[in-house]
Structure 1
Amino acid sequence: MSKSFWPEKGLRRTGPRMVILSVLEQVATHVSVPGLVRLTMSVQPTISPSTVYRNVAAMTDAGVLHSVDYAGETLYGLSMTAHHHLICERCGLLWELPAEEFDPVVAHLTARRGFDLSLAGQVLHGRCRRCAIRPLPPVRPGAGAG
Structure 2
Amino acid sequence: MSRGTRSAHHDTTASPDVRMLLRQHGLRCTPSRIRVLNLFSESGRHLSIAEVCGRLARAGVAVHHTTIYRTLESLTAIGLMHAVHGPGAARYGISAEPHHHTVCQECGEVSAIASRHLTDAVGRVEELTGLRPDSSGSLLVYGRCARCD
Alignment of 1:44-123 (within 5 A): 44-89=60-105, 92-110=108-126, 112-113=127-128, 115-119=130-134, 120-123=137-140
- May I ask how many residue pairs the two structures share in their alignment? 131
> Which one has a bigger Cα radius of gyration?
1
Other structure's SS at 2:141 match: strand
Give unmatched runs, 5+ long, in structure 2: 1-14
Change in CA separation of 1:48 and 1:93 when aligned onto 2, cut-off 3 Å: closer
Corresponding residue number in structure 2 for 1:125: 142
Whether the 8 Å contact between 2:100 and 2:112 is mirrored in structure 1 is yes
Task: State the alpha-carbon separation in 1 of the partners of residues 87 and 131 from structure 2.
Answer: 27
In structure 1, how many angstroms separate the alpha carbons of the residues matched to 2:45 and 2:63?
21
Q: Measure, in 2, the Cα distance between the counterparts of 1:44 and 1:8.
A: 30
Alpha-carbon distance in 1 for matches of 2:129, 2:53:
43
Deviation at 1:43, TM superposition (A): 2.9
- Aligned residue for 1:141? none
Contact 2:88 2:108 in 1 (8 A): no
Share of identical aligned residues, percent?
A: 22
Give the SS at the match of 2:85. strand
What residue identity is the alignment partner of 1:126?
G
Query: Corresponding residue for 2:41?
Result: 25
Measured after TM superposition, the shift of residue 127 of structure 1 is: 4.4
Give the match's secondary structure for 1:45: coil
8 Å Cα contact 1:41/1:48 also seen in 2:
no
Match of 1:70, SS state, is coil
Scaled by the length of structure 2, the TM-score of the pair is: 0.72
**Does the 8 Å CA contact 1:66/1:76 hold for their aligned counterparts?**
yes
Name structure 1 gaps, 5 residues minimum. Answer: 135-146
Structure richer in strand, relative to its length:
1
Q: CA deviation at 1:16?
A: 1.5
Residue 22 of structure 2 is matched in structure 1 by: 6
Secondary structure class of the residue paired with 2:100: strand
Q: CA RMSD in A?
A: 2.6
